[in-house]
Amino acid sequence: MKNCNELDIAEVAKLSGLPASTLRYYEEKGLIKSIGREGLKRIFRSTVIDQLGLISLGQYAGFSLEEIGAMFSHDGKPKIDRAQLIEKASELDQLIQRMETMRDSIIHVANCPEPNQLECPRFQTLIRSAARKRHNEGRLKGKPGKSQQGKGEKD
């Protein structure tokens, strides 16, 4: 029989806003841990709600579940690597910079006086930059930067 510091999976789902299937998945991945069962229902310590909040915060910040899992000790308490947080903050700064540049470019193209956006020099620069980045990302993943023609297509 559970005590007042314990919650069954339905209660955890209700309090956290997460479906029970997600809770089972998190348990399977070692992100949270049940302390037993009452009938067919998993039982968790009430502290699991805080753990789930940390998991959600980590996901929102862009951490993978694997990275988040490494931020918990075996007893479920946080053991957050501050250097990893600084690194993630730097990644977010870079992402913000790229998104701001993209937003500004989109606004420019939307308001560009050229009759056709393809005639806009700034849009042309943006297109070339995107093509180079895609080509370079493909090369980094070991994929050649070839065109992706389907079979039977001719030049």
pLDDT for 126 equals 83
pTM of the model: 0.66
State the burial class of residue 41 (Cβ atoms within 10 Å of its Cβ: 0-12, 13-18, 19+). middle
- Ordered alpha helix ranges (H), 112-153: 121-140
Query: Is pLDDT at 47 greater than 60 in this prediction?
Result: yes
Mean pLDDT of 37-50: 92
In the numeric block, the tokens 């980094």 are attached to 140
- pLDDT band of 154, cuts 50, 70, 90: very low
Q: Taking a C-beta distance cutoff of 8 angstroms, is the pair 142, 131 a contact?
A: no
Mean pLDDT of 16-33: 94
- Strands 41-45 and 36-38, by their bridges, are antiparallel
Of the listed ranges 86-90, 96-100, 134-138, the least confidently predicted one is 134-138
pLDDT for 133 equals 78
